[in-house]
Chains A and B, each alone.
Chain A
Amino acid sequence: MNQPTILDLIGTGPNGWGMALAAATVMTVLIAIAGFAIGAVIGVFGAWAKVSGGPVTRGIAGFYTTVLRGIPDLLVIYLFYFGGSAAMTAIGSLFGAEGFIGFPGFLAGALAVGITSGAQQTEVFRGAYRAVHSGELEAAVACGMSRSLRFRRILAPLTLRHAIPGMGNVWQVVLKESALVSVTGVVELLRQSQIGAGSTGLPFDFYVIAAAIYLAISTVSGGLLQLSEKRFTRGVRRG
């Protein structure tokens, strides 16, 4: 039998894995987006706690960012996957269900990625908040804006603008971290490549394809981030 070439593998022909790889790519992007969104929400609250919290909330936020930035992401994924499964099994046995109940890998992965990236997002948002000029907030006060209006119209958009470059970095990290979710059995890009490699005996071709797709996603999203940065800083005078 002739060995299929790399073009046969990404095609949709009889030897093709094109559709499977496309579905897996969508899954990878979904995990990354879910993880990034969870991380962004955590980051906002974390930054809020660090900036204007009391000593206790600040302590908790500091502990969270120190710990989550100091331990491997893989360990966090294991915690959510196995810990979640153990909890589900315990809850299941309370209601009379027999045996092991697995925690959904997608949820475990997205939560784990979200919590690790949340620690980075916290620092990104905190730095961005610090970069907002106090004069702009003073001007808003002078215009008679209420606290919530000030937050909505002045503080949030300005913070977001300063946060875009940092958020872009976090997004790239999250995208690459999503590959680790393959250990939970979710069929994302890397897991699909493993399956393909196993059934065709062509690991090199499949991992090269996976690497190329990751590279393409990160390049395209990097370009989009740059565009958005340009758009949101269009009001800033340069030089």
Chain B
Amino acid sequence: MDLAFLYETFLSLVTAVPLTLQLAASAIVLGAFLALGLALCRLSGILPLDWLARAYIFVFRGTPLLVQIFLIYYGLGQFREVRQSMFWVVLRDPYWCAVIALMLNTAAYSAEIIRGGLLSVPFGQIEAARACGMSRFMTFRRITLPLAIRQALPGYSNEMISMVKATSLASIITIMEVTGVAAKLISETYRAIEVFVVAGAIYLAINFILTRLVALAEYQLSPHLRQPAALPSTSTGAAR
């Protein structure tokens, strides 16, 4: 193994890590809001909304992400109306197209995860909130959503990891994130294995840190499942 080459490869790939992280983070954050909306549509009991969300999820989960990226990046530019509209500034930029495609894709998968989380909230909790006189919105904000997030977190972390992996597809529409730089290095040097090892290690490291962070969040969100550190003092017992 040529350590100097590995080191050089590492240096050039590391410069692309921020872009990968930025892509993944914006897609995940924006996608989470859309997913919540979709999950609420699915659970709303209003048939048109339910079917709309169902159709959206079916289409986006049933087609490859790369097709979705091409459809947005190359496909939309076919129409003159789009090219002359105010959105063209965004839609001609490969970065934004990648973010939009990743966001729309992850929203479809996350919507079902979040829906599962919302359904798992025991009805007794909601009943208790109503009995306390909370309004529908406050019940949702204070009771349903936090409990649902806690339940959905393990499944959601899988989706976050697959999003980090999916950012690699952005390299196909000319974005120079980690895989893009790696592909360029491979085609320049023809040393696929070395570049692959370094790029793979970078992705593994990102995903490892991500899983640790989610595990930490899970720990923080489930104080009721933890062993008490010491004997519970009487004052906290009285506060309940």
* Interfacial residues, chain A to chain B (CB-CB below 8 A): 66-67, 70-76, 78-79, 82-83, 85-86, 89, 175-180, 182-183, 190, 193-194, 197, 201-205, 207-208, 210-211, 214-215, 218-219
Contacts and interface: CB of A to CB of B under 8 A. Distances in A.
B171 interface: yes
Contacts of B199: 71, 75
A78 B67 contact: no
Contacts of A193: 67, 70
A82 B192 contact: yes
B234 interface: no
B70 A72 contact: no
A211 B203 CA distance: 28
Given A78-B182, A180-B66, A190-B66, A203 B192 contact: no
A71 B63 contact: no
Interface of B: 58-59, 62-68, 70-71, 74-79, 161, 165-169, 171-172, 179, 182-183, 186-187, 190-193, 196, 199-200, 203-204, 207-208
A176 B165 contact: no
B165 A73 contact: yes
Given A179-B67, A193-B70, 10 more contacts: A67-B200, A70-B204, A73-B165, A78-B186, A86-B190, A176-B63, A177-B64, A180-B66, A203-B75, A203-B77
Nearest to B186: A82
A203 B173 CA distance: 14
Given A179-B66, A190-B67, A215-B62, A79 B193 contact: yes
A181 to B, nearest CB: 10
Contacts of A70: 161, 165, 200, 203-204, 207-208
A62 B161 CA distance: 18
A194 B64 CA distance: 14
